[in-house]
Structure 1
């Protein structure tokens, strides 16, 4: 076990050094931390509204692989990730 001796260091100086170190790490974390946002899912109708198209077109684009759908097995419900839909919108507009 390693022994550390503090010579001519006051408890207040140690406390200040610790606080400064912790504050420095917190500031770094605040600058670099980006919380992960949960993925938002859209219905076929919401996607159709975003593209200003009919729901049948959303279905056709999904079958052709232009859009990727996510479904709940056995429920018949289909959802789309908002982030993926927004990427497709950007590609179409460019």
Structure 2
């Protein structure tokens, strides 16, 4: 075990320095964790509600490839990023 001797720093200053360093490291770890989280999955009903369309319209969009679904067994899900991607900005037509 190593021994450290602090001669030019007061205990409250050391405490502040340690706290600041720990906060910085925790923020960095949190950002990395956010980037690693999987994309939220929405059910058919949740995706339709998010897009404000009917389930039959959502099914039609899925069949034509406008939106890509994923799933397991007989369950169909949509990634939130995929649902947001299918929303395209409308161009403003000049009058």
Smaller-chain TM-score bracket: 0.5 to 0.7
Q: Distance in 1 between matches of 2:65 and 2:39?
A: 21
Taking only aligned residues, the RMSD between alpha carbons, in angstroms, comes to 3.5
Q: Compare 61-70 and 21-30 and name the one that shifted more.
A: 21-30
Larger radius of gyration: 1
**Structure 1 runs not aligned, ≥5 long:** none
Give the TM-score normalised by the residue count of structure 1: 0.58
Give the TM-score normalised by the residue count of structure 2: 0.58
Number of residue-to-residue matches in the alignment? 86
Aligned 1:71-82 pairs, distance under 5 A: 71-72=71-72, 75-82=73-80
SS at match of 2:76: strand
1:29 correspondence with 2:25 = yes
Q: Distance in 2 between matches of 1:19 and 1:41?
A: 43
Q: Compare 30-39 and 45-54 and name the one that shifted more.
A: 30-39
**Structure 2 runs not aligned, ≥5 long:** none
**Where does residue 62 of structure 2 map in the other structure?**
62
Q: Distance in 1 between matches of 2:83 and 2:7?
A: 60
